[in-house]
Structure 1
Amino acid sequence: MESNEISLVTQTDNRKFRKFYLAAVAALFGSISMGTGLGYSSPAIPSLQSVNSNVHLSDADIPWFGSLLAIGALIGGPIAGFAIDYFGRKLTLMLIPVVFIAGWLCMIFSHSTGLLLFGRIVTGFSCGLVSLAVPVYIAETAAPDSRGLLGSCVQLMITLGILLTYVVGKYIEWKWLALFSMTFPAILTILMIFVPETPRWLLSNGKRGDAIKAIDFLYGSSLNAEAECQILESNISQQTSERLSWRVLLLPHVLKPLFLSLGLMIFQQLSGINNVMFYTVSIFQSTGSAMDPNDETIIIGVVLFLATLAGSLLMDLAGRRILLLVSAFVMAFSLAVLGTYYYLDETVRNSYNWLPLTSMIVYIAAFSIGYGPIPWLMMGELFSVKVRGWSSGIATFVNWTFVFLVTKEFHFMIELVHEYGAYWIFGSLCLLSCVFVATVVPETKGKTLEEIENYFQAKKQLLHSINASDNDLENI
């Protein structure tokens, strides 16, 4: 059972510094790299539209430049699932920077829009690899009493990468910003040299001696590495014997948590969050605010980082459902206000030029405490261990699909229903997500993974009971 996984690690001396924190820090440079990729388009687009740029983005190119990252990530996610099993978690994380740097180099040396967009796809492909590989590496190296904290750092470091890109992008043009972004994947490769492969992968591939060395490094000599290996081998043997076909995903007690996870992922993107992340500077330019759009964008990045940190701390205190409901309702309100601002006459808007930044700050803060981290957290909580890999892969694929659809069609929405209509639509979808959470999403706060699995198994057992009763009646 998963509850036994690395069970002896909690018996180590907590007063001693355990090196699995170093392993997590190394891997988290992958998340920072992903954040720079996500945040790059916002400061880069105005620079690429400048008359001084040797590559010029037209208005028709901008939606593609923002959304093609998601197309690359759609491809990278499934490939990462294969790579971490075939090459190992550590080697995959060491190879990802090669792809990242190749994408940034395509943009740096591009003399045409085509090569620039291709570089955007390649960096997106790397983001897809990171989005799966980093959480798996951290989950398999961290001790149980630190896994939640380090797991939440994945999202936090992504927001840090976005913030760094916003800040640096104010002062340098798009080529130098791409060069700056290359430094983080390079650091990832260097740091991963000094940390081990995960013990689970090593044991799964018959490298028991290396697994014992990895356990000694990660948790210290106070842990009985031999006993820990035996526990891991037992878990691996059990999970291997329980591998099921894809048809298991169609069973009701598996389909319902998959439906819930997909719903959260879809509503996360229908909130319009990545339109803000990808086009922040352009959005603020359109508001007519007297403040520098780059300064407003940096403020948004700071709020994103601090609110994500607050959300991580509130997660196990307030509960998932209440944070999702508060998050969706406040986002709907702030988007309604922002849409109303765009609806007003320009002369009236001049008296309220502070409103767009205020609305965006509230919107970002609300997203960061709820709909930002919780769909990813609950993805890991809702699925049973036997289908977690497949189900998580489907949920991740759907998430990146909607990233592409929403960001690609954002400018079309503005042309069709204007800015105010677009923001009102996203606000209405946030309200709809409140209904979804209130009616079907269960609270998982304080529950073990076994209790959550039993919650979805209950209806299956009830159905079996009813069928058994029907068979008994037929035999009378």
Structure 2
Amino acid sequence: MTWSGLKDIELQKLTTELEMSSAMSATSGDEQESTELYERLPSGKPTPHHTRIWPATYVCIVAACGFLLFGLSKGFNSPVLSELKSRTGYTSLHRTLDQDLFNFVYLFGTTLITPFSGYLSDRFGRKLSIILCCIPYTFGWLIVVLTVSTDGPAFRPLLYIGRFVVGVAAGWTTVCCNAYVAEASPSRYRGPFIAVNGLMLTVGLFLGQLIGVYVTYYWLANIILAHTVIFVVFAITIKETPRWLLTQGRKSEAAKTLVWLNGPNCNVGGEIQKIEDGISSLTKLSVSEIFQEFKKKSVYHPVILACLITFFLEFSGINAILFNIEDIFKEAQVKSPGLTSSFAVGGVQIIAAIFGILTTSLLGRRKLLIISYSVASLSHAVMGVYEYLNNEPYCHPPGDPQCKSDLYPLAIVCVALFIASFAAGISAASFILLVELVPRRVRGVGIGLSFLVNGILAALIAGIYQSYEILVKPYGVFWTFSLTCFICVLFVAIFVPETKGKTLEEIEHTFDNRRQQRHLVSIS
């Protein structure tokens, strides 16, 4: 049966029968009738009016709110560090070490859970994993809240434990929410829908920093805890992804979900056949088989590219700057550094992230990365010059506050420009490329490995930022980031292929074809 031979009212009746049969089979355990109904669904390409977009938009936005929670957790750092310093009675040395440790334990938690997040998402399903990741979020923020009534030597250990547990939850959230959006979004909207994850992270970061200007860390932690509860309530309302259901052999539930996502007149048969073809082409590999796959250049080449993309993502300096933005502005003698950092970082990021959703489809991933890293390199270089002029003999005496105050708008512009380039291009294009480059047969391991590299570098850079700044001075830090961004421009221009407008299968064949072409050249 084809779409041209099927009237809307007939398909509506058929899908209604399928929904009723799915409900009955869920209680009886017999899927035979649902399978027979599924086989009567049409195949072929539907006309445009046969699909709808709002249900997929709803579930993807709900899943993307996990990134909003992640952003709130990251934004918790910068606004409250000053209050925590005064609470714990920092000396100059303790200030540096404790601030680095506070940043490190959070990112170490995200890194620790990363290798297991993919397995947990496959084991429990995308929806249930999203709900379960809120358990460590809840416990972590409760521990942070309890520190407000804790005095003496127990204060800092409790604070670090709570921050570490929140980091574990954040790392789990990024993997399962990203997988959900990638599988639930229609293929033609996959890029923009995944880019919404970055937008929600940006909104969360902005809100965390902005709220932290006006409330204590105790109330900020309570606000984030309340958001966690609200997120769970909405997560319960979304559907499991059709792809995961089909991997579990639950075909009737997958068909029902596709009907709900795309409308009663969607091409259920064709969509399920496409997903099943993709699943059937993937065999579950043993550890030894995975090692064998990684010996193939068509596999390890894109995985190395993905890992290097995350390497340069972190060495752009994003986490070091975000976690220490208030201190950076205080050093630059910016007036109201807390409020300024909220708008210079959060406000600019939101606008830039919205722009990035559009540019990933218009410019392509490769061109967008080249432009964004070029802007980031320039902004870091100018910021380094600004810090040099304010800390070397050009100020008499060095570090004179009046000298810095005359130039502080330049610091705001440089930081805002870097944040804009990161949100509009570096972040959006990098995370889309991570999903698109890694071959399907090792995608779980490959993406997990790249996220592991990302987490280790994020924890390392944020954890040593204060100490590195003492060693090379503030201008040395920014010039280091400028150099790595410039190197990344060359790396992307030479090694990273364009993936815009290509299916995941076509991208994978790109690396296979390169290997075949080199083999033919060597034979000739």
Name the aligned partner's letter for residue 433 of structure 2: M
Counterpart residue number, 2:133: 96
Moved more, 283-292 or 374-383: 283-292
Q: CA deviation at 1:442?
A: 2.0
Offset from partner CA, 1:261-286 (integer Å, 9 cap, x none): 21111111111111111111121112
Q: CA deviation at 1:15?
A: 7.3
Offset from partner CA, 1:162-221 (integer Å, 9 cap, x none): 011111111101111111111222122111222211122222223233223222222221
Counterpart residue number, 2:123: 86
Match of 1:321 among 336, 348, 366: 366
Q: CA deviation at 1:242?
A: 7.8
Quick one: structure 1 residues 321 and 219, their matched pair in 2 at CA, closer, same or farther if it must change by over 3 Å? closer
What runs of 5+ residues in structure 2 fail to find an aligned partner?
A: 1-42, 390-394
Q: Does 1:46 align with 2:89?
A: no
Identity of aligned residues (%): 30
The runs of at least 4 aligned residues of structure 1 exceeding 6 Å deviation read 7-10, 53-57
Moved more, 238-247 or 357-366: 238-247
Quick one: structure 1 residues 184 and 13, their matched pair in 2 at CA, closer, same or farther if it must change by over 3 Å? farther
Match of 1:120 among 163, 177, 195: 163
Q: 1:296 aligns to what SS in structure 2?
A: helix
Counterpart residue number, 2:451: 396
Q: Does 1:236 align with 2:291?
A: no
Q: CA deviation at 1:380?
A: 1.5
Distance in 2 of aligned mates of 1:224 and 1:466: 44
Counterpart residue number, 2:386: 341
Name the aligned partner's letter for residue 375 of structure 1: S
Q: Is the 8 A contact 1:36 1:161 kept in 2?
A: yes
Offset from partner CA, 1:298-338 (integer Å, 9 cap, x none): 33211011111111211121222322222122212211221
Offset from partner CA, 1:395-435 (integer Å, 9 cap, x none): 11101111011111111111101111111111111111122
Quick one: structure 1 residues 55 and 179, their matched pair in 2 at CA, closer, same or farther if it must change by over 3 Å? farther
Q: CA RMSD in A?
A: 2.4
Offset from partner CA, 1:130-182 (integer Å, 9 cap, x none): 11101111122222222222111011100010011111111101111111111
Counterpart residue number, 2:265: 222
Q: Is the 8 A contact 1:152 1:312 kept in 2?
A: yes
Q: Is the 8 A contact 2:191 2:361 kept in 1?
A: no
Match of 1:135 among 178, 181, 192: 178
Q: Where do residues 166-315 of structure 1 align in structure 2 (5 Å cutoff)?
A: 166-226=209-269, 228-240=271-283, 244-315=289-360
Q: Does 1:380 align with 2:380?
A: no
Q: Does 1:405 align with 2:454?
A: no
Match of 1:432 among 487, 491, 494: 487
Distance in 1 of aligned mates of 2:421 and 2:250: 46
Distance in 1 of aligned mates of 2:60 and 2:454: 25
Q: CA deviation at 1:440?
A: 1.7
Q: CA deviation at 1:227?
A: 5.1
Quick one: structure 1 residues 145 and 8, their matched pair in 2 at CA, closer, same or farther if it must change by over 3 Å? farther
Offset from partner CA, 1:69-121 (integer Å, 9 cap, x none): 11111122222211111111111111111111111111110221011111111
Quick one: structure 1 residues 248 and 318, their matched pair in 2 at CA, closer, same or farther if it must change by over 3 Å? same
Distance in 1 of aligned mates of 2:104 and 2:274: 44
What runs of 5+ residues in structure 1 fail to find an aligned partner?
A: 1-6, 470-476
Name the aligned partner's letter for residue 131 of structure 1: T
Name the aligned partner's letter for residue 369 of structure 1: A
Quick one: structure 1 residues 98 and 158, their matched pair in 2 at CA, closer, same or farther if it must change by over 3 Å? same
Name the aligned partner's letter for residue 407 of structure 1: A
Quick one: structure 1 residues 230 and 445, their matched pair in 2 at CA, closer, same or farther if it must change by over 3 Å? closer
Q: Is the 8 A contact 2:79 2:338 kept in 1?
A: no
Q: CA deviation at 1:124?
A: 0.8
Quick one: structure 1 residues 325 and 143, their matched pair in 2 at CA, closer, same or farther if it must change by over 3 Å? closer
Q: TM-score, normalised by structure 2?
A: 0.83
Q: Does 1:359 align with 2:414?
A: yes
Q: Is the 8 A contact 1:29 1:185 kept in 2?
A: no
Distance in 2 of aligned mates of 1:447 and 1:8: 21
Q: Does 1:30 align with 2:38?
A: no
Q: Is the 8 A contact 1:10 1:144 kept in 2?
A: no
Distance in 2 of aligned mates of 1:8 and 1:195: 28
Q: Is the 8 A contact 1:280 1:297 kept in 2?
A: no
Q: Is the 8 A contact 1:8 1:223 kept in 2?
A: no
Quick one: structure 1 residues 34 and 447, their matched pair in 2 at CA, closer, same or farther if it must change by over 3 Å? same
Q: Is the 8 A contact 2:192 2:360 kept in 1?
A: no
Distance in 2 of aligned mates of 1:295 and 1:157: 21
Q: 2:237 aligns to what SS in structure 1?
A: coil
Name the aligned partner's letter for residue 364 of structure 1: I
Q: TM-score, normalised by structure 1?
A: 0.91
Offset from partner CA, 1:228-251 (integer Å, 9 cap, x none): 434433432232378852321221
Quick one: structure 1 residues 11 and 276, their matched pair in 2 at CA, closer, same or farther if it must change by over 3 Å? farther
Distance in 1 of aligned mates of 2:50 and 2:192: 15
Quick one: structure 1 residues 459 and 377, their matched pair in 2 at CA, closer, same or farther if it must change by over 3 Å? same
Moved more, 203-212 or 395-404: 203-212
Distance in 2 of aligned mates of 1:318 and 1:229: 32
Distance in 2 of aligned mates of 1:141 and 1:130: 16
Distance in 1 of aligned mates of 2:124 and 2:243: 13
How many aligned residue pairs are there? 462
Q: 2:441 aligns to what SS in structure 1?
A: coil
Counterpart residue number, 2:7: none
Q: Is the 8 A contact 2:45 2:270 kept in 1?
A: no
Distance in 1 of aligned mates of 2:104 and 2:496: 30
Quick one: structure 1 residues 87 and 141, their matched pair in 2 at CA, closer, same or farther if it must change by over 3 Å? same
Q: Is the 8 A contact 2:143 2:162 kept in 1?
A: yes
